Structures are given as structure tokens and as C-alpha cells.
Structure 1
Amino acid sequence: MRVLKQVVLLMILACSLLPAGAQSKYEWKEASSGGYNYKYVTNDPMKARFYTLKNGLTVILSVNKKEPRIQTLIGTRAGSNNDPKDHTGLAHYLEHLLFKGTQVYGTLDWAKEKPYIDKIESLYDKYNKTTGTDARKAVYHEIDSVSGVAAKYAIANEYDKLMTAMGAQGTNAHTWVEETIYEEDIPSNATDKYLTVQAERFRDPVFRLFHTELEAVYEEKNRGLDNDGRKVYETMLAALFPTHNYGQQSTIGTVEHLKNPNLKAIRQFYNEYYVPNNMAIVMAGDFDPDYVIKSIDQKFGYMQPKPVKEYKPAPEKTMTAPVEKTVMGPDAENVQIAFRMPGALDTKSMVVLNVLSNILQNGKAGLMDLNLNKQQKVLSSSAGVMALKDYSIFEMSGKAKPGQSLEDVKGLLLGQLDILKKGQFDESLVSAIVNNAKLDELQGLESNNTRATSLMDGFIKSRGKNWATDVSTVDDMSKVTKQQIVDYANKYFGNNYVIVYKRKGEDKNIEKVEKPTITPIEVNREAQSPFLAKIAAMPATPVQPQWLDFNRDIQKGKVGNADLLYVQNKDNGLFRLYYRFDVGTWNDKKMSLAANYLQFLSTDKYTAEQISKEFYNIACSFNVSTASENTTISITGLQENFDKAVALFEHIISNCQPNEQALAALKSRLNKARTDSKLNKGQILRGLQNYAIYGGKNPFNYQLSQAELEGVTAKELTDLLHNLMKYQHTVIYWGPQSLSAAQADIAKVHQVPASFVAAPPAIAFTKVSQDNNQVLFADYDMVQSEVNWIRNGGNYDSGKTAITTLFNGYFGGGMGSIVFQTIRESKALAYSTYAFYSAPAKQNDRYTAVAYVGCQADKMNDAVNGMNELLNDIPRSDKLLTTAKLSMKQDLETERITNDGIIFKYLEAKKLGLSTDIRKEVYESIDKLGFNEVKKFHDENLAHKPYTYCILASPNKVNVDELKKIGDVKKLSLEELFGY
């Protein structure tokens, strides 16, 4: 889906001005290769090349040969900041429309289509200026009529078909305040196809199928109105920036502006900002940079530069007193505190702020981690930096535990700032922060997405000019002194903040975007443009798939009585060690509580706070996670500290001491978290789904009852932890050590019993059969409705893996699928919709068919009917099927399972009763499958079958009596869903 970029607290961003003496390490240099000049920064671990073409287009390339794929981003330095004041949301509209094609693709006959497109543009201009309900309805009726005719010449989703056929993944885009970014992950042999499509995409886009896409944006807006987190974020920005567009212009647009779109204004925005000197192409992955830059130059050379009007806001006035806001909604309560800080271009400020932020909260040993989270003084708390070009935001957030007010949480959060301002922290924490930043940097280099995103972020904020300081981030952080941090905190953190209280209650200010009348349009599934045929015919060097050979790719050994599975890390100095136990929450419901409890416990040598500091200081970490049938301990970090990290964890698990006070606090917080879960619509929907799949007794509500929770003792939990190593477990190692060395090192610190203790018997959950249509209804105060279809199928059969995968890709697994094209593109009934046949995780378990529509409540009946039609009768599209098969083949050809992923793939296969890599069998089956097989699969497993409908909605907006026409209605209480 094309969505707005979500709020992400970016912890490491544009950084510090280089101090004297550091310039020799990170300097801009120039070089030439393949006939093109480029710049680079010395000692850049990404080895990024920065090109500027003659027309001003920026191209940034980073080669990574880890897998035969490339993460691509095409970005423009224009977002909602640049929207006209009377057309907010315009940049986001445009993002959606750039998936609709041009004069050469997305159309059956541009000459015949064009007059209708021009007419629609004129009608929207008229609609924009028309007042009066009846008059506006009349104009919209004309828009709908003309759009229906225009759609007969359009090929819906042809862009998605083009990308899917070449093996692209993650087709998406986002709009934010300063940027609009278009994203694709492509096979390494598809660069020519990709660049040809993208060059055409931005040449002269046609804004076709506008009114149905506009309805998708309406749905997106309404979903935002149901999202308390989004409302808090927008309220915070508006208060923090009373002048700047960060706070004054919603990225998705106001309701009023959404009701009055103007295609001419959108075209003007495109012409002004989508110019080469304001855009960048970033690619990270497996490619020849000399070939790629030449190809980009040839294909994008047509673009003509223009002067770009930068958004230059007046400075915000200094805040002299706290600004307090309240947001109401059904979700759990929390408090957000935000300070307006210097922007990302102030690199001196950013490096200090980054270190300061990590001293306050780094997830392990920051002031808030130790003083608030570790001591359980709040339900949860966090802090972080969101760096924007003109200003940055430092944000602190917290949730209250039982008996605590949000005002209490506010006091505790600000109290940590006071500690910082007084300098009451150990300066050695800066060194630990730097070591962990080095670890993060190593891990980030493994990901093409991380590389590309970092490079594009640098372009958006500074056109890449600050890349030398970005690269020197970790070194610059190490030079920050305690006095600098204290001075910075006292300079910027006073009574100059915005505080937003998110309280539970009805939001009486919600204004929904009303549903217009839309006649379903043609999607022309079988049509294809000559351009698509041309792209398909372009030669591509085949990529040979690589299958795992579990006997070759995994080495096996022993650590005492435990099996050891080993894969060597030949790339860097990172290690990951796991103990995987054959016991989980289905064996003992207290297992999850025990795992959570461990972080609050001391030993005879260390306090809980000292343990966190010790791990953070050596850039290592541990985690104990519980699943239904397994518990996994992971210890990760730098191999140079392997012995220290593993020995420390072994000491903790063996010597942790009961702490009744910590347990009482944990129980209290858990009760609050449980209460909050009942306010979260995502959790409620999960409960409905589990109830539909398994019945009243299901994995979701298999929880400690209130009485059971209160009865648990500290000794019970520490006994569970002390005895964990006695259960059957497998040791997994991925790291630079040889097998024999790793085996010896692990054996020194990990004591394995001579014989394992039998685990308590696990409870069994059985999937139910849907014999009749049934509706499971849960009440939630929201504008939207959420509907899931659930039906359990037959037992797992590895021979069905190929047809299941193809069916999912063709029917409902992506934006080019039958379901998405019909429900969203043709009928404009939902922003989000999908359907798939889900395979179980273990042998002898059953498949489950799942379908979903999230839509406005007043569209629910139409959406349900629309999905039911597809579940009963699958439309035939040979072109779409061919695309799905091509995509499936290319996904398998370019997929590389590496590192410890090899071991977990083996364990996954073993659970399904497989001894080989099933992907090879699937790959060899693809060409044998056709529509007859897909239809047979659909008819046997989905068509004309009873379903359980899980519906989450407000009874004030959905007629419950209407639901009885679907099947027997059962309204479920939250206690039935959650088990407590």
C-alpha cells in the first residue's frame, strides 16, 4: 500500500562538524570511472558514489554483493511542506497518482482516452469551485459518469504488473513533510527494465482513475482519524510549530481540502518539484556502478532542470512556557513531551543531541532505562530524536502504571531530564554508546534497505553535502564530553515544551470524509500496453537460484549433551548464540512471565541495573523470548566480547534471586498492560481471529487468569529460570569462530546436564471446522469497520506449497492481485484489502483461508458482498497469472538465505517434516501450473464454503441486525476474547 511515512524516532542521523585532526580520515574526494566523475568520502563503509548528471539529477550508488538484489529509491525534495495553503495533501495525492501510468502504459488507446481525462480535469476544477450540496452532487455524478467511460481505455495497475513481472518486491511510496520517495526492491538482472520503466514513469504521468484513487485517500484519512497515535502526533506538531508547515499542514490533508481536490494544482506541483535538480536516484545492492550510471544518464537525460522554490519558513518564536494539549480516543492513555530543537543541518547540535538522547534512553542502560523502566516506576517510557531539516524534535513518552496519573508520569520523565542537566550520570556511558553505535553500524551494512534509506535521508536534508559528517558520526560521538552534554541540556531543555495527554474517551471533534457515490469501473485485467510487452521482451541475464543443502550448509556438533548447529560468519566480527528449548507457554503459562521477570532480577554479584550496564558496556545483549512450543535465549554482540557476554548470562540465569517487590510491580504493570490491550483495536481483532480459527479455547486467550497471576510467587518464577537449562535444547552459533573453537568456547561457559528433564506436557489447540456461516462481532468506537473472513482447510501437504504460493500471488497477495484490483481499484470499497491461504507452521496442522477488508462503516455491506463474490467465483486473467508466475520464479531465483537464517530455515523445515529445501520443489513446479490448477484450488478450498466473519466496528455505525443476514451473530465480550 502507498502510505504516509510513519513517525520513526531516528536515533542516529546527520551528525557533527569534524574536529581538527579528523579531516584526514573522512574527506570528500573525486574520482572517475566508466567515463563519469563522482565524489566519495574516504573510509565510508558503504563506499557510496555521489554523481551529479548534467541536468542536475543526483545519483547515489552503494554496491553490496550479499544477494542478487538491489534496493532502489527515487526521491524528490518536496512533501507536505510544499503543499499550497489551499490544497493541503496535494503532495500525497500526487504520490498515489504516479502509480497510474503515462501516455504509453496504463492505457489501451491514449488518443481516445485523453479527451475524457481532460474533461475530468475540468470537472474537478468546476467541482472545486461549486458550493451547495445538491450542485456538488450533480457535478460529482458527472465526474463519476465520465470517469466510467475513461476507465474503459485504462489498464488498472499496469505499473504494478510491470514491476511484479520483473521480480520487484516491496513496491511502495511514502510522503512526509520534506520528501516523497518511491521504493522498489528489484533483482540484480532487472536494472535495464527498472530504469526504463522509471524513466517513462516520471516523463509525463497521466492522472487517470482519479476518483477511485481519491476514495482510497479518503479511506486512508478515515483510518488516521481512528488512530489515536496519529492524532497525538499531529496535535504535537501543530503545537510545537505554530508557524512552520511541520505543524500547520497535515501530510494527508485536511478533510475540507480532501473534499475539494484540484487536478490542475496537482499538475502544477508536479511540474514545479519533480525536476532533476530536485530529485535523486539511490541504489544499494548487487550491480556494476559504471554500467548503472551510464544507463541512468541515458534514460533520464531527457529531464530538464528548473529553478525550484525552496520552502523557507520564518523562524518559530522561542517557547517560554509549556503548551498543554489533550487528545481523546478509545486507545490506552499515554503522555508525550516534545521539545523543538535545532535542525539536522546544524551538525554540531545533532551529534551532541544524539549522544544526549542515548544517555537518557538507549533501551538498556540509559537514565530512563535504569531509573524508570528497570525500577518499574511507569508502565513504559521511551525517548528519541526525530531529525528534520529545519528543526528537530526531541520527544519523551510514557504510559502510566495502575494508580498513577499521566501527570505523575510527566513528572518522572522531566525528572530524568533534571538528572541529566545536573550531570548526575557516569561519563563512561558515552564510550558505551559509541561501542553500541559501532555494532549498529556493522549490522546496518548487511541491509540494502538501510544503506539506501540512509543515503536518501542525507540527500533530502542536505543534498548529500553532509555525508562526510554522517560517515564520521561514531567517531564524532566519542569526542563529546560530559560538560558539553550538560551545557546542551541546560540550554535547550527548560519550560519550552509541548505536552500532549492522550486520554481515554470519545473524540467529539472527528469529522469523517463522507463516501461519495462511485460506480465500479473497468480494470481491463487482460489488457496490456505495447510498452509492457517491450519491457517483458528486454533481455535479462538469468540468475541461478541457490537452494540450501542442510547437510552441506550447516555443520553439526555437540556441547555436552546438547546438539550444536553451526554456520560461520565470514563477513565481520559479529556473533549470535542461541539456546532453543523444547518448552514454551503451552507447556507452562508462567514461562512468559518468568522470561519478562528476569530483567528485573539481581544476583549475588550484580544488581539488575549493573547487569544492564555490563552488557551495554561490552556492546552485547541478551534476550529470552517465549513462543507456544519453544523458548529461545539469544546472546548477541561483538565476538571479541563473546566469553564475557555468555559467562555473564550464564551467571544470571543460574543465580538470579527472587524479588517479591519486583514481582509485585511487574504484576501491577502487567494488569495495566492487559487493560490497555483491551483498548487496542489491533489486539481485539487478533482475539476475534483466534476465536474464529480455534474456538473459545485458543492460543490468544490461553493466559494466566487473574487469580493465577496473583498466585504466582517469586520463587516459582526463579525456579523456572534456574531449571530452564535442564530441559532439552539445541545450541545455535553464527559467528567468526571455527566450529571447533566455538564448540570449545561454548562448552567452557555453558553447563549442559548429563540427561535432560522431561518438559511438562503441552496443551493442544485444535482448529475448528466452519460448518455454517457465523459472525463474531466486537464493539469498538471508530469511524471504520474491520472485517476478516476465516475458514480452516485440510492438513498440511508439502506437495501443495507451489499451488498455494501461486494462488496467493494471483488472487489476493498484492496490489496487482484480483482482490486488490476489484475491491480497491474498481469499486473503491477499501483502502486495505487482501486474501490468502495460510500454510501451518508444523506437520499435521491445518491450512487457514484468511481474507480482509478495512473500510468505512457505511461501505461494509458492499465490501462484504464484493469479497464474497471473489471467494465464490475467481475471475480468470491469463496475463495476471503469467505475471504472478514470473514474480514467483524471480523471487525464488534471487532469494538468498544467509547467516543464522540458514539454521532457522532448517528448523522450520524440520517442524514440517521436511529434510530438504522445499523451495527447489516449488521452483520446478511453477511452469506446470496454469489457471485450471488455480481455479481447482480455489473451488476446492474457498468457493461456496461457510466462513466465520470477524467484524470489529461501532454498533452505532453498523446495523447489527443486517449482520444476521450473513449468519448467526455472536457478540463477544473482551473477557471472552482475552481470557482475563
Structure 2
Amino acid sequence: MNLLKKLTITTSIAAASFISHAHGQDFQWKEATSNGYKYRYVTNDPASVRYYTLENGLTVILSPTDKNPRIQTYITTKAGSKNDPADHTGLAHYLEHMLFNGTNQFGTKDWVKEKPLLDQIDVLYENYNQTKDKAKRKEIYKKIDRISGEAAKYAIANEYKKMMTGMGADGTNAFTSYEQTVYTEDIPANVIDKFLAVQAERFREPVLRLFHTELETVYEEKNANIDDDEAKVFDTMLASLFPNNNYGKQTLIGTVEHLKNPSLKAIREYYNNYYVPNNMAVVMSGDFNPDEVIAKIDKAFSYMKPKAIPEYKVGQEKPITTPVIKEVIAPDENVMLGFRFPGTSTKDARLMLLIGQILANGQAGLIDLDLVNKQKLLKASVTPFLLKDYSALLLQGTPTDNQSLKEVKNLLLQEIDKLKKGEFSEDLLKAIINNEKKNIIEYYEKYSLRGTILNHEFIWDIDRKASLEYIEEISKLTKKDIMDFAAKYLQNNNYVLVYKKPGKDRRTMKINKPTITPIPINKEDQSPFLEKIEQIPENPISPVWLNYDKDIAKNKLGDVDILSVKNKDNALFKMYYYFDTKKWNSKILPLAAEYLEYLGTQNKSSENISKEFYQLASSFKMKVGSDETYILLEGLNENFDKTIALFEDLIKNCQADQAALDAYKEAQKTMRNGAKLDKDLISIGLRSYAQYGPQNPFNNVLSDAELDALKAEDLIHLLHDLFNFKHKILYYGPKSGNEIAASLTPIHTLPPILKDIPNIKTFVQIPTDKNKVLFAHYKMVQAEVAWIRVGGQYNSAITPTVSLFNDYFGDGMGSIVFQTIRESKALAYETSSYFQQPDNKEDKDVIKAEVKTQADKFNESVTAMNELLTTLPESKQLFEATKSGLKKSIASERISQDGIIFSYLKAQRLGNNFDIRKNVYEQAPKLSFADINAFHDKEMKNKNYTYCIVAAQDKINEADMQKLGEVKKLSLNEIFGY
């Protein structure tokens, strides 16, 4: 995941920390003792959180819930990129990568022989760091490469991941942000003893082995960041908002110059300074007994010794008194406005969240209604960006066609002026509170999201009691309070403005490919420590299979099937109108779905409808897909009838709005042009072309001429007629199936006979009869290569083999593909390969592989993947760990809520009448390596592939592509269909 997306997700989840459980409840800090351990808690906490501080200062945060037999874990250090030394930026992120490589107890097969070589590498990197002469640096690097290869002979790469795979862990990963480095695992509840034993050893005294290849992986991550236009805007914004603070002075990954000159000594010093118990926390949310778990954590981590943490000096910022205006050159264009706010632990940071929701909440905010709904901007959003020293409110706007960026800026500032003048209703404040009440139920019903919220509260020193009192706090605010607060922080001259303008970015900065000799990964070796972990007992978890006849209630509303699952936990509902659109593939249905958002009825305007949905704490979303189409309505059960009636009135009585259609068409043209500048969409288009040919689901869109000729009546007729086609109703909520039918009978009126979905267009996958190359030019540092091969028809009998093969071969950080291409050869930051079974029995299997690499490593990367597609390497240890992990993962998996219904519908589409996971659980452990090797040879070895390549045409040699197969360079019109 790129860092900007990661930060956005992190911030949106962290914002949930400020949402209280219920208005009017009494929240007080209390102390208690249980099982000999003192802890603090807040009364009426919906997550039942306990806060412990062990004798060595380690914070332990526990939130028990028994809904799923799994536990989300975070081991967190209050140190990130802002704590990097100024002359070694990117160091915290480097260290995060290295914490997967073991200690002197695991990750090595002979520590006595390995250590002297690692010591030599330490010295060489220090010399390399301090040497300026290019020739001398080259010689030192050759020595580093040679000795790293020798040291690697004693290393056991990926042993940590093998241990976690064997436990059935999911989400093995880590991330570094500005003030945190976090190590994440989602584990079955019965392996907690194994997990703690591994983590305690992992942080005891990590060894910085295999640094040579991991360094190249970080280079790849940096180059990907250089290619990310949004990251350029974001970095420019922070540098301008915080010129004196490390948020702006230091980037997460570090500068190119510092990355090219790493210091193992500095990394080790960073670890010793910050990875100490009084600066760390263990956060767990899931199925466990907190009295038992706290004793186990104490025993595991009691060896840690507290020490003073280096003083961090907050870079104090001067007030911005004149707008700071910056420019970033990129393929597309938009505007970002940033206002500085105090840090997360303050009341003003909490109120910033409220200000953000008044401006934009996705439904009824000022910007939502005035700019997005009225199509004055193509897109607009508001993001509260939470940090400890300071926070920021970020507004973004994308122009419509022929609209200047200054006009975008002025429109955003006009909405801020409305906020300061109080031009918003009291009803909006009440609606925000109601929606927050609904949100808190959603946040805390998921054990994984609970853990995320608690982790961020720890990092940012957010008081749990203050978080829980957020709704009470904002409920007391008057309109004048909000106006005064907005006037204080959102002035006419105290912002940073970043224009992202179209043009050619003349920056050529990148980290060039160093000479790296591939290292051995010693797949068959294992340390005595791993054997010790495997011997720790665990109580088996019994799997729970879905029984589609018992788990789903089946009722009727006329000829419409109602499939429902009862929500016994809370008062929320989700209801879907579900259409099987496999053979429809209508070009105008996706446009009609979007057009609906801008329409009103004879009695209600589009703006009033948006407001009414938000006041009900409800929402609707229409998703049009090539396989299925549905309309989702969700909200509070108490408002179920009103929500359904409101939507039914809209879709049945929406009126054509020519002005809205004209604006929508112009917006579509702008978005279509923007799509051609998105390398991810280009890549998706290439892969669809590889499977289906020139006419495919991706480019099955209206031509420019067809779009111009589109009439409002065509879209309105389709919307009015939609419920006359065959469909199902899916429901998850507090009502029974009979109650849903009774509620819908007067609202969801149906014709005597429902029409069949029209068979307009069916796409058929084409055989991969020869090696081909599809190439699309995109100006960037990296090259992205995907392998596509269309296989045979769906066969449920091979699903157990497919599941085991994918986990072993190329789907995950512990897989053969990842180990070989990233860890051994340092050729890519992202790489994978897997066998994909279809979602419909009429479709075919697809074999996929992917490498995202530097353009100058194109040949090496392609060769490496082709070798793996030809010969499946055997690792007995990894294979057994994969089998064990797959079984444990399935045993602890619980499909629930509306997921039960969608599992049933998928089974139906595939011709199954049972939970296919049962077959995987029972049959996969019986498979041998010979079985999956035979599968690999049958499906991958010596087969034809279509290579989908997105890269800058001046960085990839055409002759090299021709060696792979017949080359076809696709134009953007061929890819997108317009």
C-alpha cells in the first residue's frame, strides 16, 4: 500500500477515537485489581478496555470480545519518522523492515559463523556512508555485496513469516508513520502463547541481517513514492504547513541521498533509544480472558528494561499570516487547501473533526450539497489529518472541464466563509450526532477496528474518557461556538494552497539499481527456536461451516425472494436490492446509477433528499458490476421504514433534470480524460484486454458520440423501470424475514410479472494461445508487469489444491514468489502470483502474476518470475507451515452478517449448495508437495502468457519485449473505449 493511502486510512480510523458510545452516559476513570494486576478503565466503555502499566513501564491495552475466535494485535513504538536523525532520514522505516529478520535465536542456522560477517558489513556500511569518492564507494559496495552473500549462507530468510504462517496468522505486516512504528498480526485465539513467545524474542535483540537486499526493497518503495502524484502533493503540503517541525522537514521514507547512504550503527542506536518498554505498548482486541493474557504478556516481556527516551523537541510553528502557495506538476490537476490545528490530545483537535463533518460528510455537508451535488466541482473532500504535535484540516477539489484551479480554490473558500457566517442549519448538527452514534456501533462491533482505534489513542496520547465523551461535548455546542471556532482557525490568509497542475515533471530523481548478487534463502533450514515454538501446545478451534438452509431465512414478497440474516447484536440494518446482471452489461446503467445522485422528485429536491437521508442516519449506494448489481440501504433500524420509503420514492419518481445531465456529461468527459492519466486504471484495462480481447468489460462504455447523444429520458426510464426486472432482497438487521416482508409490502410495490434481465452483452474469455505483450506507455520511474493466462472451466474439486497452492506459491509475504523475487533477488517491492477461480461457473480460471520493479530491472524481474512459473521450488518447512496455517485460519474464520448471504449467492453462481471451505479444511492438509507441484506443472509450466506492461517507453527496450512474444502497443483509446 502506498504511504499516502496508508496515512489516509490511518487518519480516518483514528478519527473514530473521538466518537462516544451513547449520549448522556457517565464516563469515569476507575482502577481495579484482578489476578494480581492493577488496571485502569473507563466506566460504560463499549469496548471494555483495560489499561495496564507493567513494572518495566510497558503499556498493555486489552479489549476482549468473543464474537470471533481471533485476536488483532499491535506492538507499537512511539517513534516514527519525526524521530529520525536529521542526517539519517528514513531510518525508522528501514528499521521496521529489519524487524522481520530475526535475532541470534531465529533467522540464523549458525550464529557463531554469521556474526563476524555481519560485523564486517557494519563497518563497511559506515565507511560507505562517510566516503564521497565515487570510485572508492563502488569498491566498498562490491565488498558489501560479496560479504553479504557470505553472511546470507547462514541466514534463514523469512523464518519469522514461516512461524506466523504456521500459526494461521493473517495480516502479517508493519507500518511506519510520523510518530509511530507498528507491527501487526491477526492471530487465531488459541495460538496466543506461541505468538507471545515469538514477539518477545523478536524484540529482545534484533539482528540487522540481510540488510543488503532489504535496502533495495526500500529503494523500490521510494521509487514507487516518487511515481505517486498524490504523495508529491501531500509532501509539499506538509513541508509548507510545518516548515519548522519534522512533519514537514522529514518525509516518511527519507531523502534519496540518505537512503543511498545508510548506517547500521545509526539504525541500531535508534532501536536502543526508542524500542524500550516505557515507550511501547502491546494492544490486543479479540477473544481472550484479560486476566490470563496480562500475566502471559508480563512474563514474556519482563526482560525489557526501561530507560530514558531522547528528548524530542517540537518544532514550533509561527502563525501563517499570508497564504503559502505552492505548485506540483503532475498528469492531472486539483487543489489542496491546508489549515493548521493543534495536536490530537487537545479539545480543538476534536472540534476540528466536527468542522470537517459540517463541511463534508459525504451526504449533507456544505461542500457535499453546494459543490458536489450541484456539480460545481468534479470531486471535493475534507480530511482531518491527525498528528500529535499539530493537526491539519485538508480540503481538496478537482475542477470540472474548462475550470481554473483558482476557481476551485475560491469555491472551497466560499464554503468556509459560509461556515464562519453560520450559514448551516441546526438540523445538520443534530444529524451529525445521530450519524456518529450509528458509526460507533459499527466501529466497535469489529474486533480488528477496535484494536486500531486503541492503538492510535495510545500513540497520540488521546484520553479514552475524552474520546468517549465526544458526542456529549459537541452536543453542547451552539452555532455561535462553531462560528467562533471556525473564524479562529479558518481565516482568509492562514492557509497553505497546493496547486497540482498538468505538465511534464522535469524531476529525474530516483534511486538507481545497485549491483546485487542474489542471496540464498535457505528454504529448508530451521532454527531450534522454531522447533521450540512448534512444540508449544494449543487447544484446537473447531471450525464453523455455513448451513445455507438454516443460517438464512427465506421469505417472499410476491415473486421476489427475501434472503435475511438476523442481527442479534445491535440496532443497525443493511438491505440490498440485488440484480444478477451477468448477461446485461448495460452501458448506461452505471451512468443512471450516478445520475440518480443528482435528481429529485416533484416534491423534493436532490439537496433535500440528501439532507433527509443524513438526518435519518441512513444512506444509499448503487453499485453496478459486470456480474452483479445492487442498491444498498443502511442505517438505524428505528428508521428502516422511512429510509426505504424515501429511496423508493426517489427511484420511482425521480424527474429528469436537463441541467444536471448536461453538467454530468461534462463531468464524465473530465473524469474520462483523468482516467487515462491513472496508471492503475491503465493496468486494469490491459488485464481485461488480455482476457477478453479488444471488446471487454473494462472498455464496454459509451463512446464520446454516444455520451453526447445520451438523453435524460433514457436514464430516467431505466431507473423507473429497474424494480420491474427480476431481483432479490437481501437483509441483515434486527427484523425477521416475515417482518421485512410486512414492512416492504406497502412500499416496494411490484408488477404482476417481473421481467427477465435483458441479454444485451456477454463477454467470453479468449484462450491464451500464444505469448503476447500488451504495452501501454506511462511516464514513470518504475515498470509494472502482469502475467495473464486464461485457464479452464470452474471445477470445485480443485478448490482445496488451489487454496494451498496460492498460499504456498505466491499469495502473501511468506510465499515462494515473495521470498525469491523480493527477499533473495531484491527485484521488487510488490510481487505475487496466484491461480484465480471465477465467481461464476460459466467463466474460466485465470492465472496471474505481477512484479512492480524499476525499469532498469525489467529483464531480471521477468526472468525471475518466468523461472518460478516454470519450476516450483520446494521448501518442506514452508509447505508444512502453509498447510498448518491454512487449516488454522479456516478453523478460526467466522463468516457473519450479510457476508453469509453473499457467500450463499456466490455458491449458487458456482453451482455449489454448501460451504466450500469445508472441503478445503478437510482435503488440503492431506495434499503432498507432489500434488501441488503437479498442479503447478499442469496450470503454469511451459504455458502461454499475455504480458501486460505499463512503463515509460524510453525506459523499456522493445527488443526485450519482443523476446517475450508478439508486441502490441495499445493506445489509450483502445484500452478505455473512448
Q: State TM-score, norm by structure 1.
A: 0.98
- Pair 1:821-2:854 in alignment: no
1:147-190 Cα offsets, whole Å, 9 max, x none, are 00000000001110011100100011110111001000000001
1:183-217 Cα offsets, whole Å, 9 max, x none, are 00000001101111000000000000001000000
Structure 2 partner of 1:385: 384
**Structure 2 contact 72–285 (Cα < 8 Å) conserved:** yes
Structure 2 partner of 1:418: 417
SS in structure 1 at match of 2:283: strand
Higher mean displacement: 881-890 or 680-689: 881-890
Output the CA distance in 1 between the equivalents of 2:584 and 2:848: 24
SS in structure 1 at match of 2:182: strand
Output the CA distance in 2 between the equivalents of 1:68 and 1:15: 24
**Structure 2 contact 624–630 (Cα < 8 Å) conserved:** yes
- Pair 1:531-2:522 in alignment: no
The CA deviation at 1:243 is: 0.5
1:398–1:584 CA distance, 2 compared to 1 (3 A): farther
- Pair 1:961-2:962 in alignment: no
Output the CA distance in 1 between the equivalents of 2:585 and 2:785: 33
The CA deviation at 1:927 is: 2.3
**Structure 1 contact 11–384 (Cα < 8 Å) conserved:** no
| Aligned pairs for 1:813-892 within 5 A | 813-892=811-890
SS in structure 1 at match of 2:498: strand
1:476–1:500 CA distance, 2 compared to 1 (3 A): same
The Cα RMSD (Å) is 1.6
Output the CA distance in 2 between the equivalents of 1:459 and 1:816: 30
Instruction: For structure 1, list consecutive stretches of 5 or more residues without a partner in the other structure.
Output: none
1:644-699 Cα offsets, whole Å, 9 max, x none, are 11111111111100111101111110111110000000000001111111111111
Structure 1 partner of 2:588: 590
The CA deviation at 1:740 is: 2.0
**Structure 1 contact 384–395 (Cα < 8 Å) conserved:** yes
Letter aligned with residue 210 of structure 2: L
SS in structure 2 at match of 1:127: helix
- Pair 1:134-2:131 in alignment: no
Structure 2 partner of 1:453: 452
The CA deviation at 1:758 is: 2.5
**Structure 1 contact 523–821 (Cα < 8 Å) conserved:** yes
The CA deviation at 1:923 is: 1.1
SS in structure 1 at match of 2:563: strand
Output the CA distance in 2 between the equivalents of 1:955 and 1:738: 59
The CA deviation at 1:815 is: 1.1
Output the CA distance in 2 between the equivalents of 1:38 and 1:471: 18
Higher mean displacement: 884-893 or 50-59: 884-893
Structure 2 partner of 1:261: 262
Output the CA distance in 2 between the equivalents of 1:587 and 1:237: 44
1:49-80 Cα offsets, whole Å, 9 max, x none, are 00000000000000111111100001010001
Structure 2 partner of 1:620: 618
**Structure 1 contact 839–848 (Cα < 8 Å) conserved:** yes
1:436-470 Cα offsets, whole Å, 9 max, x none, are 011110011121221111111111111x5x11001
**Structure 1 contact 780–952 (Cα < 8 Å) conserved:** yes
The CA deviation at 1:510 is: 3.5
Structure 1 partner of 2:568: 570
1:352-397 Cα offsets, whole Å, 9 max, x none, are 2221111100000000000000000010000121111111100100
- Pair 1:726-2:724 in alignment: yes
Structure 2 partner of 1:338: 338
Output the CA distance in 2 between the equivalents of 1:315 and 1:323: 17
| Aligned pairs for 1:22-61 within 5 A | 25-61=26-62
1:524-565 Cα offsets, whole Å, 9 max, x none, are 001111111111111000000000110011111101221111
The CA deviation at 1:86 is: 0.4
The CA deviation at 1:23 is: 10
Structure 2 partner of 1:197: 198
1:908-962 Cα offsets, whole Å, 9 max, x none, are 1000000111111111101221111111101111001111111111111111122
| Aligned pairs for 1:524-563 within 5 A | 524-563=522-561
The CA deviation at 1:855 is: 0.5
Structure 2 partner of 1:784: 782
Structure 1 partner of 2:903: 905
| Aligned pairs for 1:301-700 within 5 A | 301-330=302-331, 332-347=332-347, 349-462=348-461, 466-494=463-491, 495-583=493-581, 586-700=584-698
The CA deviation at 1:844 is: 2.6
Structure 2 partner of 1:748: 746
Higher mean displacement: 113-122 or 586-595: 586-595
Give the number of equivalent residue pairs: 974
- Pair 1:182-2:183 in alignment: yes
Output the CA distance in 2 between the equivalents of 1:469 and 1:813: 42
1:823-869 Cα offsets, whole Å, 9 max, x none, are 01111111110000111110131111100000000000000011111
Letter aligned with residue 942 of structure 1: M
Letter aligned with residue 198 of structure 2: V
Instruction: For structure 2, list consecutive stretches of 5 or more residues without a partner in the other structure.
Output: none
1:466-523 Cα offsets, whole Å, 9 max, x none, are 1100111222221222111100111111211111111122221231111110000010
The CA deviation at 1:119 is: 0.8
**Structure 1 contact 584–591 (Cα < 8 Å) conserved:** no
Structure 2 partner of 1:716: 714
The CA deviation at 1:3 is: 6.4
Structure 2 partner of 1:950: 948
SS in structure 2 at match of 1:814: coil
Output the CA distance in 2 between the equivalents of 1:117 and 1:588: 61
Output the CA distance in 2 between the equivalents of 1:619 and 1:24: 20
SS in structure 1 at match of 2:460: helix
Output the CA distance in 2 between the equivalents of 1:230 and 1:307: 35
Letter aligned with residue 478 of structure 2: T
The CA deviation at 1:22 is: 9.7
Letter aligned with residue 407 of structure 2: D
Output the CA distance in 2 between the equivalents of 1:535 and 1:511: 45
Output the CA distance in 1 between the equivalents of 2:396 and 2:217: 32
Output the CA distance in 2 between the equivalents of 1:961 and 1:925: 46
Output the CA distance in 2 between the equivalents of 1:903 and 1:16: 33
Structure 1 partner of 2:758: 760
Output the CA distance in 1 between the equivalents of 2:904 and 2:66: 24
1:75–1:329 CA distance, 2 compared to 1 (3 A): same
Structure 2 partner of 1:64: 65
Output the CA distance in 1 between the equivalents of 2:327 and 2:753: 59
SS in structure 1 at match of 2:634: strand
1:545–1:24 CA distance, 2 compared to 1 (3 A): closer
1:583–1:689 CA distance, 2 compared to 1 (3 A): closer
Higher mean displacement: 36-45 or 584-593: 584-593
The CA deviation at 1:635 is: 1.1
**Structure 1 contact 837–848 (Cα < 8 Å) conserved:** yes
**Structure 1 contact 16–476 (Cα < 8 Å) conserved:** no
**Structure 1 contact 15–350 (Cα < 8 Å) conserved:** no
The CA deviation at 1:760 is: 1.7
1:232–1:371 CA distance, 2 compared to 1 (3 A): same
Output the CA distance in 2 between the equivalents of 1:663 and 1:207: 60
Identity %: 52
**Structure 2 contact 582–762 (Cα < 8 Å) conserved:** no
Letter aligned with residue 299 of structure 1: A
SS in structure 2 at match of 1:652: helix
SS in structure 1 at match of 2:941: coil
1:705–1:593 CA distance, 2 compared to 1 (3 A): same
Structure 2 partner of 1:894: 892
Letter aligned with residue 273 of structure 2: E
Higher mean displacement: 744-753 or 385-394: 744-753
Structure 2 partner of 1:80: 81
SS in structure 2 at match of 1:523: coil
- Pair 1:148-2:149 in alignment: yes
